[in-house]
Structure 1
Amino acid sequence: MMSDTNARRYSTGAMVFHWVIAVLVIANWQIAERAEALDMPAKIEMFGYHKAVGIMILVLTLGRLLWRFTHPVPPLPATISGWEAALARTVHVVFYVLLIGLPLGGWLANSLSGRDIEMFGLFTIPPLPVRENGDLAGRIFDAHALGGTVFLALIVLHVLGALKHTFVDRSGGIFRMLPFGRA
């Protein structure tokens, strides 16, 4: 029989997906930031890593969604107000949109630039079947960067919310997504 604490905690699979994707997102942000400061050809090489990690994030996110649809999500703590619950659900939906949309947008922009995506020297993902269009690629890259900035702001909001629910409300917050602690 499942304990009350386990009923309030995410499944192990959900936790693994969450933390691996979170680490990859932060690492990929840092890769992009560092790449911007480099000169050619190091800049191209570093952005190659950014693209490959982005594809990994896309694949893991699709796996996470499949997991989420096949495994129950614990209910929100009863202490969360209606507006907090609505905000949490909205942020999670936007996270999924960005976790899928940013890599796809990056792949599309690269395809419009006639570039493929090299996956760490293991294999190559070809461009999407689109005509080259540098102007459109540039606009998509700009939207990609803006989306990344919005994503970072939402990550900060998400972390602050988890910390508030853990240490102020004492409703388990962050321990719902960790295999230890009191959820």
Structure 2
Amino acid sequence: MNTTAARRYSIGAMIFHWLIAILVIMNWRIAETAHHLKGADQMAVYGYHKAWGMLILALTVGRLLWRWTHPVPPLPADLKPWEAKLARAVHIIFYVLLIGLPIGGWLATSFGARPIDFFGMFTIPTLPVGENKELSHTIFEAHATGGSIFIYLIALHILGALKHTFFDKNGGIFRMLPFGKVPG
């Protein structure tokens, strides 16, 4: 295997990464839009937010399965110990949020006794939890807070990738792209 390839993520990992990243940012914007609407319009937009969230959950499960069956390149050797720890912590938190936010949304929706329409193709049933509107509201509030934390972490992740690419010149973003220079 060539050494540049050994320092890059696999093509499958790249596809999962960029697809999930685009969907997460898009879904955050959909939620922000819905938050400013009222009535049926709000519910319709939140319906799309929920469907996209379930797709993100499915893709994240696929991404984790991919990760467990395909080697992950090592972090660049020039990272400071705190940078390596921060990178690992942020990635772990990303996976927790990529799984926890959709499941939390599904749980809150279930406590609200509402199934999730998956783009008109099929219905994702409620979880067997019974109806509890107050708990539904509480979970949705936690879900929104988690989404805000996620967006801040995404910004930190992007800034880190840009720093490593343009200041440290250690490959940064090119580790997750099929082009560009990843130095040894």
- Bin the TM-score by the shorter chain: over 0.9
Amino acid at match of 1:60: L
TM-score by length of 1: 0.98
Which amino acid in the other structure matches residue 84 of structure 1?
A: E
Please say if 1:71 is aligned against 2:67. no
Using the TM superposition, give the Cα deviation of residue 39 of structure 1 relative to its aligned residue in structure 2, in angstroms: 2.4
Aligned to 1:138: 137
Residue number in structure 1 paired with 2:89: 90
What secondary structure does 2:71 align onto? coil
Q: Does 1:5 align with 2:4?
A: yes
- Identify the residue that residue 175 of structure 1 maps to in structure 2: 174
* Post-superposition CA distance 1:16-47 (Å, at most 9, x none): 00000000000000100111122221111000
1:101 maps to which residue? 100
Residue of structure 2 in register with 1:148 after alignment = 147
Corresponding residue of 1:80: 79
Q: Alpha-carbon deviation of 1:131? A: 1.2
Corresponding position of 1:38: 37
Root-mean-square deviation (CA), in Å? 0.5
How many correspondences in the alignment? 182
Query: Normalized against structure 2, the TM-score is what?
Result: 0.98
Instruction: Could you tell me which runs of 5 or more consecutive residues in structure 2 were left unpaired when the two chains were aligned.
Output: none
Unmatched 5+ stretches in structure 1: none
1:35-80 C-alpha deviation (Å, 9 max, x unpaired): 1122221111000000000000000000000000000000111110
d(CA) in 2 for partners of 1:69 and 1:148?
26
Distance in 2, Cα, partners of 1:25 & 1:47: 14
Q: Say if 2:16 is the partner of 1:17.
A: yes
Residue 51 (structure 2) aligns with: 52
State how far apart, in whole Å, the 1-side matches of 2:112 and 2:57 are: 20
Aligned to 1:29: 28
Aligned with 1:41: secondary structure? helix
In structure 1, distance between residues paired with 2:112 and 2:37? 20
Percent of aligned pairs with the same residue?
Answer: 65
Which residue of the partner structure matches residue 165 of structure 1? 164
- Looking at structure 1, the residues matched to 64 and 154 of structure 2 have their Cα atoms a distance apart, in angstroms, of 18
Provide the rounded CA distance (Å) in 1 between the counterparts of 2:58 and 2:7. Answer: 27
Alpha-carbon distance in 1 for matches of 2:172, 2:111: 42
Matches of 1:121 and 1:129 in 2, distance apart? 22
